[in-house]
């Protein structure tokens, strides 16, 4: 949703997302009496499944929800000005700064060691914390490598964006199953996530949905994959974490470890319900905010740049920025309205006018 | 003090700050026999107060001290060349790189989870650590939002600088009371900090004191506010942390929770003494360093830029930097005195002219 | 090895490094039956030494190994195009972005609090963790200051690169002895590391080896120094960490604390064996990878820039980059082969000509 969303719209839909979507849908899976948590037990939802929905640190509850809210936003917003899709002879617009993108990705990776091991909720489950941290690392590495290799097959270059989104995809995927799978499982399910994310980017491109940073493939699609992967890779050794010690008396076992389809079914049901509910509510929220005219900035504001239009100042007042990355070189069309832009804008203006003429 | 302080001066006053001001004044509040720590008990300073000075993780001991040293430095240094204040028809100079500023602010925020929860000094006070971390988060969020909203009222833009300084102000304010207040109290006192910091920037502007990054409002003023806020918001449930378990037998209670004015009085006395002592000593130190002629760089060096003048190299030798942010466009006036600057200015010109011709 | 190594070569030698060199040589020192770990005891290697090789968190096992692999790579690769050494009237090429370099150094420093205290391998050794963290901090500070001061003696500037490499050198050096030395020892051995790293950079310059970021002096040379320093500064109070509590019944004592030459000898033997083995194997690996023609990119690719040549995109498509830092201003010689470079190159060219004329 970046590059075109207004700040007021951001604030408004954030109220809906943080105040209602996350707490209510999250409660379904993580609340002590959530219907997905209790699913499969007598007297509750779908008792025939025999097992509840499991999501250790939030592949579904955090990431799928976030990814499908982003999908709703991208659909309602429409693509950025000047964005042409591959089917129409175009392709993704150039990124702004890959050094910062990769650094940000690594900081997120580091933060994951808070999300995943921290979700044991007790410092006394030593083994669980160690296993979760190791699985998190392995899945991220595997996904980064498969995404890099897969992107190489068509780009013939070692693409930084896909590599970063690859390891993020692995992190999202391992978030649900990190407590219950073996290191081998973590490598395999992470490796698949790296393929899913690259394919997901292509799917969105084909659907003419403009998701500049790949939030939908990374968080939405790999959140679903990670949630399902528990039903395949749960290794049958680990049960539940606890305040003082883990309780492995009722371990989770997935399809590949002889546990049959019960767990996979529960994961699929939970993921489907959460994904559909989130997407439906998020579409309504985005349409509502859009109806007030504050979701997307004006065409002028978008060409001008959100830093100047929304925040009143360029992000780097002293750097000389070329117009290369802006849609159709249109940024320099409005320098006269900028308090500082006229001097910043002079260099690329002249250059691009020359280049065009 | 940035943009005009010489490296030798930096080193000299740092000796005074790290070697004397922090250890001695810090001892008053945190030392086992510090007179502010023992204040209010029989046989010590101001026994009638009935309670000592409290500063959990250092709103006063770390931040007010730091902020008022910065104030002394800014006063003795005087404003940067070319800095005109609002009263004189000018305003703050443009920042250099807001992406890095916001990233640095977020890294500081992250570090605060070491400062504040770590100040329980024992990993066994589980509840205290959790409460402190939650209060720290809530105060930062509240302050960032109120600063952003308050700045919007006059700037009509969502100002990034004020937002970052806002959440930092909330973090500074909650540093003192984080152990003793409720989440509601943390939100309220943080929200006030966001207003204090924006108003503080305006006060310094009016006083014609050039504090480019807002160190005085963030650390100095919000340190005072946070220290006082304990006297208002201490919720009457929590006492002292301990090596094995917390001791809540003598909880702190503020004015708004029925505790009367005792605690507020103790906080005011402690804050006043520390602030005045620090400011007096820091003024003396800064004048002394200035008397040796090493506090401020030469006019030439300042126009030239501290990276070239003090460190011998531009921060980004390959980037093309505009003269926009430098005082009065004066940077390019002196390229002939630079060991490398002539190449910075000349190289792309000549190289590119060659390439075209 | 930066600035000229191809991605395929990177992947190939990384297989050798991660798959063989680190696990095998690391096992010698850290494995329960490693011959360097058991060295000095009856029936094992060099029983007359009376003590084994000690490397708490990896000055040798992590850093010396890494530094000498980098040395082998730099030798086999040869210097970057256009790199002239001081003996030949040249000097180091300009860095790209010192802000990012310093930020990265600080992030590494922060990460060291995971490496060193985390190497106690047990959260129950409270004192050990605290001592290691304190020693790590002191050594880094001392080394940063001595490197800055030493570089000042010849550069007459407060050099940021040397300061950053200085504190990294101190961190590398303290990594081995961090558990066994006193704070005084940490300051002293760190201070020496700051001198070693600056001198090491000059030695490589004299040897005409192009190590752009100083990996060999920081990791290789200061890894050796840190390993030896344990033989000098081990303070005779601390023995081995343990799962539940430390075991200080057989403390390590270095030469300066009356322990004689036994420990110093063991450290020297271990460091020498690891360094020579690593360097020999790494030279073979680098020559082998080079023989396949994939270690170094083509001359065209190097002039063009690795971001464009290997990754297919400039790191900052929107920034205007000068040719200053590229070898002999040669970057703009090939814009016609770039999918985007022609526009990147055009803007400043025309603009600057306009500005000049």
A320: closest chain C residue by CA? C320
pLDDT of the residue at A124: 82
Q: Which residue has tokens 């009371």?
A: B177
Nearest by Cα to A137 from A110, A98, A165? A110
Q: What is the dihedral of CA A111, A116, A121, A127, to 10 degrees?
A: -120
Question: Quick one: pLDDT at residue B305?
Answer: 87
B311 min Cα distance to partner chain C (Å): 5
What pTM was computed for the model? 0.88
pLDDT at A315: 85
* Percent of chain B's residues with pLDDT above 70: 89
CB contacts < 8 A, A to B, total: 60
Q: Among B132-146, C111-125, C130-144, whose mean pLDDT is lowest?
A: C111-125
If you measure CA to CA, which chain C residue comes closest to B308?
C157
Residues of chain B contacting residue C322, judged by C-beta atoms under 8 Å apart = 317-320, 344, 347-348, 351
3-class DSSP state of B247: strand
What pLDDT sits at residue B280?
A: 98
Token pair, residue B316, equals 């980004």
pLDDT at A77: 96
pLDDT greater than 60 at residue C339 = no
C200 contact partners, CB below 8 Å, separation of at least 6: C214, C216, C217, C218, C220, C221, C222
Least confident of A170-184, A283-297, B237-251: B237-251
Beta bridge partners of A240: A247
Q: Which of A307, A318, A340 sits opposite B321 (nearest CB)?
A: A318
- When scoring C7, C304, C317 by the number of chain A Cβ atoms within 10 A, the one with the most, hence best to mutate, is C317
The pLDDT of B71-79, averaged and rounded, is 97
Rounded Cα distance between A191 and B258, Å, is 59
What's the whole-number average pLDDT of chain C? 89
Q: Average the pLDDT over C261-287 and give the result.
A: 97
Region C147-155: what's the mean pLDDT?
96
Cα–Cα distance for residue pair C296/C302, rounded to 1 Å = 9
Share of chain A above pLDDT 90, in %: 79
**B241 with B180: CB under 8 angstroms?**
no
- Please answer yes or no on whether B324 and A343 come within 8 Å at the CB atom: yes
Instruction: State the pLDDT confidence band at A346, using cuts at 50, 70 and 90.
Output: very low
Q: What number of residues does chain B have?
A: 357
Q: Could you give the CA distance from residue C181 to residue C161 in angstroms, rounded to a whole number? A: 28
Contact residues, chain B, for A318 at CB < 8 Å: 94, 96-97, 321-322, 324-326
Backbone angles phi, psi at A296, to 5 degrees: -110, 140
Distance of CA C212 to the CA centre of its chain: 12
Nearest to A99 among C315, C350, C354 (CB): C315
pLDDT digits (tens, 9 = 90+) for B255-289: 999 999 999 999 999 999 999 999 999 999 999 99
pLDDT at A338: 35
Instruction: Read off the pLDDT band of B131 (50, 70, 90).
Output: very high
Confidence of residue A136 (pLDDT cuts 50, 70, 90): very high
CA distance B210 to B1: 8
Reply yes or no on whether the pLDDT at A323 is more than 90: no
What's the pLDDT at A331? Answer: 33
Q: From chain A, pick out residues whose CB is under 8 angstroms from the CB of C354.
A: 350
pLDDT of residue B321: 67
Q: In chain B, what residues touch C99 (CB-CB under 8 Å)?
A: 97, 100, 315-316
- Residue A344 confidence (pLDDT): 32
- Predicted confidence band of residue B101 (pLDDT cuts 50, 70, 90): very high
Give the pLDDT band of residue B322 (cuts 50, 70, 90). low
Q: Residue-wise over B157-195: b if at least 16 C-beta within 10 A, else e?
A: bbbbbbbbbbbbbbbbbbbbbbbbbbeebbbbbbbbbbb
- Res C319: pLDDT: 74
- Judge whether residue C354 has pLDDT over 70: no
The pLDDT score that the predictor gives to residue A322 is 60
Place of tokens 């060991």: B339
Helices B22-30 and B65-77 pack at an angle, to 10 degrees, of 150
Query: DSSP letters along B92-154, please?
Result: PPPPS-HHHHHHHHHHHHHHHHHHHHHTT--TT-HHHHHHHHHHHHHHHHHHHHHHHHHHHHH
* Residue C81 clears pLDDT 50, i.e. is over it: yes
The two tokens of residue A17 are 């997302």
- Choice among A236-245, A274-283, C105-114 with the minimum mean pLDDT: A236-245
- Mean pLDDT value of segment A317-330: 53
3 state SS of A166: helix
Cα separations (Å) of C233 from A268, B35, C181, C250? 60, 39, 6, 16
Contacts of C313 in chain A (CB under 8 A): 94-95, 98, 157, 159-160
Q: Is residue C336 less than 8 Å (CB to CB) from chain B?
A: no
> pLDDT tens for residues A158-209?
999 999 999 999 999 999 999 999 999 999 999 999 999 999 999 999 999 9
Question: How confident is the model over C29-72, as pLDDT tens digits?
Answer: 999 999 999 999 999 999 999 999 999 999 999 999 999 999 99
* Higher pLDDT, residue C2 or C166: C166
Percent of chain C with pLDDT over 90: 79
Largest CA distance in chain C: 82
What are A212-240's pLDDT values in tens digits? Answer: 999 999 999 999 999 999 999 999 999 99
Q: A313, B95: Cβ pair inside 8 Å? A: yes
Per-residue confidence (pLDDT) for residue C315, from 0 to 100: 85
Measured CA to CA in angstroms, residue A288 lies from A20, A93, A281, A294, B125 at distances of 15, 28, 11, 10, 46
SS3 B240: strand
What would the mean pLDDT of A335-340 be, rounded to a whole number? 35
Contacts 24+ apart (CB under 8 A), A233-237: A233/A177, A233/A180, A233/A181, A233/A182, A233/A185, A233/A186, A233/A188, A233/A189, A233/A257, A234/A177, A234/A180, A234/A181, A234/A185, A234/A259, A234/A263, A235/A180, A235/A181, A235/A182, A235/A185, A237/A182
Q: What percent of chain A has pLDDT over 70?
A: 89
Average pLDDT over residues B210-222: 97
Residues of chain A neighbouring B319 (CB-CB closer than 8 A): 319-320
How far apart CA C29 and CA C10 sit, in angstroms, is 26
Which one is predicted more confidently, A41 or B325? A41
Min mean pLDDT across A322-336, C85-99, C200-214 is at A322-336
pLDDT at A96: 87
Decide if B322 contacts B329 (C-beta within 8 A). no
The reply to whether C276 touches chain A by the CB within 8 Å rule is: no
Q: How far is B141 from chain A (nearest CA, A)?
A: 13
Q: What count of other Cβ atoms lies within 10 Å of the Cβ of residue A350?
A: 18
Chain A residues within 8 A of B331 when measuring between CB atoms: none
C243 contact A CB<8A:
no
Q: What is the mean pLDDT of residues A87-100?
A: 91
Q: Identify which of B155, B158, B324 has the shortest CB distance to residue A344.
A: B324
ipTM: 0.84
pLDDT for residue B349 is more than 50 = no
Mean pLDDT calculated for residue range C228-257: 94
Q: What is the pLDDT of residue B335?
A: 36
Q: What is the DSSP letter of A321?
A: B
Look at residue C204 in the predicted model and tell me its pLDDT.
97
Q: What pLDDT, on a 0 to 100 scale, did the predictor assign at position C327? A: 39
- Binary contact (A318, B157; C-beta < 8 A): no
Q: Which two tokens stand for residue C347?
A: 């803007």
Both tokens assigned to B209: 């004191």
Residue C319: its chain B contacts at CB < 8 A? 319-320
Tokens of C178: 């961090």
């Amino acid at each position: 949703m970046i590059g075109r969303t207004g700040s007021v719209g951001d604030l408004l839909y954030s109220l809906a997302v943080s105040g209602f979507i996350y707490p209510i849908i999250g409660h379904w899976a993580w609340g002590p009496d959530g219907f997905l948590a209790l699913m499969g037990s007598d007297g509750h939802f779908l008792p025939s499944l025999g097992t509840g929905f499991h999501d250790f640190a939030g592949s579904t509850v955090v990431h799928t929800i976030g990814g499908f809210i982003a999908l709703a936003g991208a659909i309602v917003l429409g693509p950025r000005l000047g964005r042409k899709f591959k089917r129409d002879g175009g392709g993704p617009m150039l990124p702004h700064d890959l050094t910062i993108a990769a650094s940000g990705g690594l900081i997120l990776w580091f933060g994951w060691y808070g999300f995943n091991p921290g979700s044991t909720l007790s410092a006394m489950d030593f083994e669980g914390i160690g296993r979760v941290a190791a699985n998190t690392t392995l899945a991220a590495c595997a996904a980064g490598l498969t995404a890099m290799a897969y992107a190489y097959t068509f780009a013939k270059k070692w693409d930084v964006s896909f590599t970063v989104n690859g390891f993020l995809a692995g992190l999202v995927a391992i978030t649900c199953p990190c407590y219950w799978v073996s290191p081998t499982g973590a490598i395999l399910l992470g490796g698949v996530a790296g393929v899913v994310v690259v394919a997901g980017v292509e799917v969105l491109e084909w659907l003419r949905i403009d998701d500049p940073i790949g939030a939908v493939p990374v968080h939405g699609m790999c959140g679903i994959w990670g949630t399902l992967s528990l039903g395949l890779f749960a290794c049958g050794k680990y049960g539940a974490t606890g305040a003082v010690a883990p309780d492995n008396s009722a371990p989770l076992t997935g399809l590949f470890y002889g546990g049959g389809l019960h767990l996979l079914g529960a994961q699929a049901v939970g993921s489907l319900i959460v994904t559909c509910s989130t997407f439906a509510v998020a579409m309504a929220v985005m349409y509502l905010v859009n109806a007030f005219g504050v979701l997307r900035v004006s065409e002028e504001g978008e060409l001008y740049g959100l830093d100047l239009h929304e925040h009143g100042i360029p992000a780097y007042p002293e750097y000389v920025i070329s117009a290369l990355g802006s849609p159709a070189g249109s940024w320099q069309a409005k320098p006269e309205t900028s308090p500082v832009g006229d001097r910043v804008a002079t260099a690329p203006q002249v250059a691009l006018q020359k280049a065009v003429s």
